[in-house]
Chain A
Amino acid sequence: MEAPPESPSLPPVDPAAGVPPRGEARSGAGEPLPDSLAARVENAVSIALLVGMAVLPLLEIVGRRVWRTGIPGSNALVQHATLWLGCLGGAIAARDGQLLSIGRLADRFPEPYRRILSAFTAAVSTAISLLLAWSGFQLVRAEWADRHYVVPILPLWVAEAVIPAGFLLIAWRLVRSSSRDGWTRAAVAAAAVAGVAFVGSGVILGTVPFAAALVTLLLAVILGAPLFAALGGLAVLLFRHADVPLASISAEIYRIVTSPTLPTIPLFGFAGYVLTVGNVSRRLVRFFRAFVGWMPGGIAVVTVLVCTFFTTFTGASGVTIVALGGILLPALLVERYPERFSLGLLTSSGSLGLLFPPCLPVILYGVVAGIAVDKMFLGGLLPGILLTAIMSAWAAWGGVRAGARRTPFSVGELGAAAREAKWDLLLPVIVLVGIFGGIATTVEAAAMTVLYAVCVEAFVHRDTGLRKLLREAGTETSRLVGGFLLLLAAATGLTGYMVDAGVPQAIFEWVRQTIDSRFTFLLVLNVFLLVVGAFMHIFSAIVIVVPIIAPLAAAFDVHPVHLGIIFLANLELGFLMPPVGMNLFMSAYRFGKPFGEVCRSIVPFLLILLAGVLVITYVPALTTALLPK
């Protein structure tokens, strides 16, 4: 990421201020190879994929009007491009040492223990990557039998082949980065193959070998194995122990990563990086300072409101951090908000707004629970305002406490700032007109955002050339999306196991038998949903959990809309739950912060929001007041 030139009207501001070099979030010890041919090809392909993902939906919008049916199969292509970008990006993240891990305990040991422990960690991670590649290979083989096509020239098995290919590439890179010494690398590879043979054999069906494998995995994770290996490894071991084919993991990864709304993540992320590479942050910071900089905590409140607004129409919480984080973090830092406070504020604000229209999870909830969508939105209005209001209040108070700077109000400066930032400020209007004007789906609106952002940066402000813009933004996006989708894929495998084993049903069977008061039921529901929200993709959580809890809640006399709002509010919070909340991953990636630091930074915000969710849970009137009788 490049620092934009400084404006004379502002104190020095560097969007990368406080962002450590890329190495800190990494887990491998190997050197990145920025100039190798393979690396350049990988980067170019990922950028081409991103540009294609943005162009196809745009052609679709035009095509629908001009030749009525748009581009045949364009949805399917864009959804599969997400899968390819995810697999390629995962390999790129591995190449650049950007695989997220919980911590690196191994580094605290003296040599030679450190080297041995690192090799052990690498061997375990490599074994898991190989097992996941094997799972992908089995899926491809099964698909090959059916000879389906994504679009007439693209067989489905070819599209799926990126899953095993991506995991193989990751395995190769884990071995490569495990050590500089060839013999150690060979030992890591041999140990990984032995691990695969052990897990692949029938031995794992026994309790003792299974437990031993679990302990090995846990040890590797504590010592610093990447998080995707922790989640994916757990899925692999559980599926193997239950004697369910490993291809189940890849089948579920394929299903989730090609789901219709997921392309919004790379697209909005791309748009966000394009704006960041350009100078939008400087222009917006100037505007917001002129606008609300005179208020105590003004910029912090703006941060909350902008994030809420953005999440509301993207419907996906992590997207907000990707798209806006790079703009808002420097805006906060330049006003002398403490770094940890700013990090926590952005990470937690990234999940606000899930209760307002036209947010997709609300619509999906209404659909699954059989509740009219407008009722869901009416019910969510006051609870949504409550959560946003307490966050704003806390943000303002944080600003006051930290003695953040205030700027005297000036009409002239506001006008000048608004003129300079007018194209950037129009961005949300484009998206809203696209969606509410019936022109575009969410994915298409995301593609429109990319186009608009590129046009504004490359042709209106002309701070950065088009090539450089696409190259820098594209590489950053694919690295981020790859790392994120790799985690989503691994978590998906684990979710798949829980569904397969009937875990949610078992929990609720237990609840049905042990809990008899409504008060306790709601409390248990809160805890359960927080865990669900941390582990599951929000759409999967709705589809899987709602049908199980809805009848239970009815038995405890909970209003169906109230249940829906409790559900969504908890899931919103689940995004922030250490150690697996998706927003934490997103934030660590976007800001290049150690995972532990992100977790610590959100604690006060998490507690505030938790209080809000409890109010929503135990004051049903907040939800039901606006509903028609």
Chain B
Amino acid sequence: QTVVKMATLAPEGSSWYRVLQEMGEEWRKASGGAVVLRIYPGGVAGDEDAMIRKMRVGQIQAAAITGIGLAYLDRSFYALHIPMMYASDEEFDYVRDRYAPVLEKHMAEKGFVVLNWGDAGWVHFFSKMPVVTPAEAKALKLFMWSGDTTLVQLYKETGFHPVPLSTADLLPSLQTGMVNGFSSTPLASLAFQWFGLAPNMADLRYAPLTGATVIEKKAWEKIPAELRPKLLEASRAAGKKLRVEIRRLNQEALAVMVKNGLKVHDVPPEVQAQWRKMVEDIHPRVRGNIMPAEAFDAVKGYRDEYRAAQSTRKDEAR
């Protein structure tokens, strides 16, 4: 019997956790009980950098982790999270599905196997006072995770006022006014109750946040070769299910927060254009600095390809 220990930030009882549990059940069935998945939920194994470290030393074998956590291993993952790059779920799915094999190859080089791709939702701006335009967002004392110094520096150069802190500091800092805004998915904002202290949200899909389930290569290869395709298949099915589920739950979270006092502010098309321009102006500094140039070019290529295909389809319909 092989026990695969898997860590995740998703709390016990959350939908992500439930999907992982079902995946474990599928693994058990597919392997006839030879492979058992043991889940460590709610970050008991630590933050995502600690999960990666514990996979490296062999304490755990797998992790269900966000794209930002994976960027710790390979900065190419940032390419999936470029702000204002993707206009819709469909567009993002198109790019991610095409770029995923490249990322999986990078991960394989680092000694990890990607079992599936999940989703965490769209990152939005939350703030104490209403924020709609880029200028208003730049005026915020914006919470930023202090772990990535280059990224903090970029925001500073773009004209933002980032306050680099640890995630544990976010809630108390919102309370004392040391920060008055942050960016996050609706689901996380509700789960951690951050929105209570920053009850305004711009209705702007600033950036997508992915997730993936990865397993350490040596641990994966210890599983009998004839079982691996079956396990992989079960994992991929779980990933698809999660993607649908999370999108629904983010909508639900939004509704719950609105009921509890969150105000959602409309961002008109011309202001959305301002946001896009702001980000596109700094693309030269993102490309090759925050992420490898080829990663940036690849996702932008796929996105333009999707948009071209869409407009052709529209033309044909006309």
Q: Which residues of A contact B (CB under 8 A)?
A: 64, 68-70, 72-76, 138-139, 142-143, 145-146, 148, 151-152, 244-245, 247-248, 250-252, 254-255, 259-261, 358, 360, 363-364, 366-368, 370-373, 435-442, 499-500, 502, 543-544, 547-548, 551
Expressed in whole angstroms, the Cα–Cα distance for A142 and B57 within the complex equals 6
Expressed in whole angstroms, the Cα–Cα distance for A514 and B44 within the complex equals 26
The reply to whether A370 and B193 contact each other, CB–CB distance below 8 Å, is: yes
Is B309 engaged at the interface, CB distance under 8 Å to the other chain? Answer: no
For the complex formed, measure the closest distance between the CB of A505 and the CB atoms of chain B, giving whole angstroms: 9
Query: A368 to chain B: which residues have CB within 8 Å?
Result: 42
What bracket does the count of chain B residues touching chain A fall in? 35 or more
Given A148-B72, A245-B59, A370-B191, decide whether A547 and B164 contact each other with a Cβ distance below 8 A.
Answer: no
- Chain B interface helix/strand/loop/mixed: mixed
- Chain A interface helix/strand/loop/mixed: helix
Given A69-B164, A72-B149, A499-B40, decide whether A138 and B57 contact each other with a Cβ distance below 8 A.
Answer: yes
Given A72-B152, A146-B73, decide whether A248 and B41 contact each other with a Cβ distance below 8 A.
Answer: no
For the complex formed, measure the closest distance between the CB of A277 and the CB atoms of chain B, giving whole angstroms: 31
Binds A, one of B85-93, B167-175, B296-304: B167-175
Given A75-B166, A438-B177, A502-B38, decide whether A367 and B171 contact each other with a Cβ distance below 8 A.
Answer: yes
Expressed in whole angstroms, the Cα–Cα distance for A192 and B256 within the complex equals 60
The reply to whether B146 and A73 contact each other, CB–CB distance below 8 Å, is: yes
Is B176 engaged at the interface, CB distance under 8 Å to the other chain? Answer: yes
The reply to whether A76 and B146 contact each other, CB–CB distance below 8 Å, is: yes
Given A499-B45, A543-B42, decide whether A373 and B56 contact each other with a Cβ distance below 8 A.
Answer: no
* Interface-central residue, A76, A250, A254, A438, by most chain B CB under 10 Å: A438
For the complex formed, measure the closest distance between the CB of A540 and the CB atoms of chain B, giving whole angstroms: 9
Expressed in whole angstroms, the Cα–Cα distance for A259 and B168 within the complex equals 9
The reply to whether A373 and B146 contact each other, CB–CB distance below 8 Å, is: no
Query: B146 to chain A: which residues have CB within 8 Å?
Result: 73-76
Expressed in whole angstroms, the Cα–Cα distance for A543 and B169 within the complex equals 15
Expressed in whole angstroms, the Cα–Cα distance for A142 and B164 within the complex equals 28
Given A146-B73, A245-B59, decide whether A358 and B165 contact each other with a Cβ distance below 8 A.
Answer: no
The reply to whether A373 and B149 contact each other, CB–CB distance below 8 Å, is: no
Is B130 engaged at the interface, CB distance under 8 Å to the other chain? Answer: no
Query: A255 to chain B: which residues have CB within 8 Å?
Result: 46-47, 50, 53
Which of A74, A260, A547, A551 sits near B41, CB closer than 8 Å?
A547
The reply to whether B178 and A142 contact each other, CB–CB distance below 8 Å, is: no
Query: A442 to chain B: which residues have CB within 8 Å?
Result: 172
Expressed in whole angstroms, the Cα–Cα distance for A267 and B61 within the complex equals 37
Given A244-B59, A364-B168, A499-B45, decide whether A142 and B153 contact each other with a Cβ distance below 8 A.
Answer: no
Which of B156, B173, B175, B196 sits near A69, CB closer than 8 Å?
B156
The reply to whether A64 and B163 contact each other, CB–CB distance below 8 Å, is: yes
Is B54 engaged at the interface, CB distance under 8 Å to the other chain? Answer: yes
Q: Which residues of B contact A (CB under 8 A)?
A: 5, 11-13, 38, 40-47, 50, 52-54, 56-59, 72-73, 110-111, 146-147, 149, 152-153, 155-156, 161-166, 168-169, 171-173, 175-178, 191-193, 196
Query: A366 to chain B: which residues have CB within 8 Å?
Result: 171, 193
Expressed in whole angstroms, the Cα–Cα distance for A148 and B110 within the complex equals 13
The reply to whether B149 and A145 contact each other, CB–CB distance below 8 Å, is: no
Expressed in whole angstroms, the Cα–Cα distance for A70 and B38 within the complex equals 42
Expressed in whole angstroms, the Cα–Cα distance for A11 and B123 within the complex equals 66
Q: What number of A-B contacts does a CB cutoff of 8 Å give?
A: 128
For the complex formed, measure the closest distance between the CB of B63 and the CB atoms of chain A, giving whole angstroms: 13
* Interface-central residue, A69, A152, A248, A500, by most chain B CB under 10 Å: A69
What are some 19 contacts across the A-B interface (CB < 8 A)? A68-B161, A72-B149, A75-B166, A76-B147, A145-B111, A146-B56, A244-B58, A247-B57, A250-B57, A251-B59, A255-B47, A259-B168, A358-B175, A358-B176, A363-B171, A435-B176, A543-B44, A547-B41, A551-B12
For the complex formed, measure the closest distance between the CB of B256 and the CB atoms of chain A, giving whole angstroms: 11
Query: B156 to chain A: which residues have CB within 8 Å?
Result: 68-69
Expressed in whole angstroms, the Cα–Cα distance for A514 and B38 within the complex equals 24
Given A148-B72, A367-B192, decide whether A548 and B12 contact each other with a Cβ distance below 8 A.
Answer: yes
In chain B, what residue has the closest Cβ to A245? B58
Given A68-B156, A69-B156, A251-B53, decide whether A75 and B42 contact each other with a Cβ distance below 8 A.
Answer: no
Expressed in whole angstroms, the Cα–Cα distance for A72 and B47 within the complex equals 21
The reply to whether A543 and B162 contact each other, CB–CB distance below 8 Å, is: no
Expressed in whole angstroms, the Cα–Cα distance for A359 and B137 within the complex equals 30
Query: A139 to chain B: which residues have CB within 8 Å?
Result: 53, 57
In chain B, what residue has the closest Cβ to A500? B59
For the complex formed, measure the closest distance between the CB of B176 and the CB atoms of chain A, giving whole angstroms: 4
Expressed in whole angstroms, the Cα–Cα distance for A600 and B25 within the complex equals 52
The reply to whether B178 and A438 contact each other, CB–CB distance below 8 Å, is: yes
For the complex formed, measure the closest distance between the CB of B168 and the CB atoms of chain A, giving whole angstroms: 5
Given A438-B177, A543-B42, decide whether A254 and B59 contact each other with a Cβ distance below 8 A.
Answer: no
Which of A72, A261, A373 sits near B171, CB closer than 8 Å?
A373
For the complex formed, measure the closest distance between the CB of B227 and the CB atoms of chain A, giving whole angstroms: 22
Given A363-B171, A367-B171, decide whether A142 and B45 contact each other with a Cβ distance below 8 A.
Answer: no
The reply to whether A152 and B149 contact each other, CB–CB distance below 8 Å, is: yes
Expressed in whole angstroms, the Cα–Cα distance for A360 and B176 within the complex equals 13
Given A68-B161, A251-B54, decide whether A547 and B147 contact each other with a Cβ distance below 8 A.
Answer: no
Expressed in whole angstroms, the Cα–Cα distance for A499 and B191 within the complex equals 23
The reply to whether A145 and B192 contact each other, CB–CB distance below 8 Å, is: no
For the complex formed, measure the closest distance between the CB of A321 and the CB atoms of chain B, giving whole angstroms: 23
The reply to whether A260 and B152 contact each other, CB–CB distance below 8 Å, is: no
Expressed in whole angstroms, the Cα–Cα distance for A170 and B145 within the complex equals 35
Given A260-B168, A261-B168, A547-B12, decide whether A69 and B41 contact each other with a Cβ distance below 8 A.
Answer: no
The reply to whether B192 and A441 contact each other, CB–CB distance below 8 Å, is: no
The reply to whether B164 and A367 contact each other, CB–CB distance below 8 Å, is: no
In chain B, what residue has the closest Cβ to A160? B53
In chain A, what residue has the closest Cβ to B197? A373
Query: B178 to chain A: which residues have CB within 8 Å?
Result: 438-441
Query: A439 to chain B: which residues have CB within 8 Å?
Result: 178
Query: A499 to chain B: which residues have CB within 8 Å?
Result: 40, 44-45
For the complex formed, measure the closest distance between the CB of B258 and the CB atoms of chain A, giving whole angstroms: 16
The reply to whether A142 and B166 contact each other, CB–CB distance below 8 Å, is: no
Query: B193 to chain A: which residues have CB within 8 Å?
Result: 366-367, 370-373
Expressed in whole angstroms, the Cα–Cα distance for A139 and B53 within the complex equals 8
Expressed in whole angstroms, the Cα–Cα distance for A501 and B192 within the complex equals 27
The reply to whether A544 and B56 contact each other, CB–CB distance below 8 Å, is: no
Query: B42 to chain A: which residues have CB within 8 Å?
Result: 368, 543-544, 547
For the complex formed, measure the closest distance between the CB of B10 and the CB atoms of chain A, giving whole angstroms: 11
Expressed in whole angstroms, the Cα–Cα distance for A441 and B166 within the complex equals 10
In chain B, what residue has the closest Cβ to A247? B57
In chain A, what residue has the closest Cβ to B177? A438
Expressed in whole angstroms, the Cα–Cα distance for A39 and B163 within the complex equals 40
Query: A245 to chain B: which residues have CB within 8 Å?
Result: 57-59
Query: Which 8 pairs, one residue from A and one from B, show the smallest C-beta to C-beta distance?
Result: A438-B177, A247-B57, A260-B166, A248-B59, A142-B56, A438-B176, A438-B178, A245-B58
In chain B, what residue has the closest Cβ to A261? B168
Expressed in whole angstroms, the Cα–Cα distance for A127 and B152 within the complex equals 44
Expressed in whole angstroms, the Cα–Cα distance for A547 and B46 within the complex equals 14
Query: A259 to chain B: which residues have CB within 8 Å?
Result: 168
Query: A250 to chain B: which residues have CB within 8 Å?
Result: 57
For the complex formed, measure the closest distance between the CB of A554 and the CB atoms of chain B, giving whole angstroms: 11
The reply to whether A260 and B72 contact each other, CB–CB distance below 8 Å, is: no
Expressed in whole angstroms, the Cα–Cα distance for A261 and B165 within the complex equals 11
The reply to whether B58 and A247 contact each other, CB–CB distance below 8 Å, is: yes
Give 10 A-B pairs besides A252-B46, A551-B13 with Cβ atoms closer than 8 angstroms. Answer: A74-B146, A76-B147, A148-B72, A248-B57, A251-B57, A261-B168, A373-B193, A441-B172, A499-B45, A548-B12
Which of B56, B73, B163, B196 sits near A143, CB closer than 8 Å?
B56
In chain A, what residue has the closest Cβ to B57? A247
Query: A138 to chain B: which residues have CB within 8 Å?
Result: 57
In chain A, what residue has the closest Cβ to B144? A69
Which of A148, A373, A544 sits near B44, CB closer than 8 Å?
A544
Expressed in whole angstroms, the Cα–Cα distance for A143 and B73 within the complex equals 11
In chain A, what residue has the closest Cβ to B162? A69
Expressed in whole angstroms, the Cα–Cα distance for A551 and B14 within the complex equals 12
In chain A, what residue has the closest Cβ to B72? A148
Query: B5 to chain A: which residues have CB within 8 Å?
Result: 500
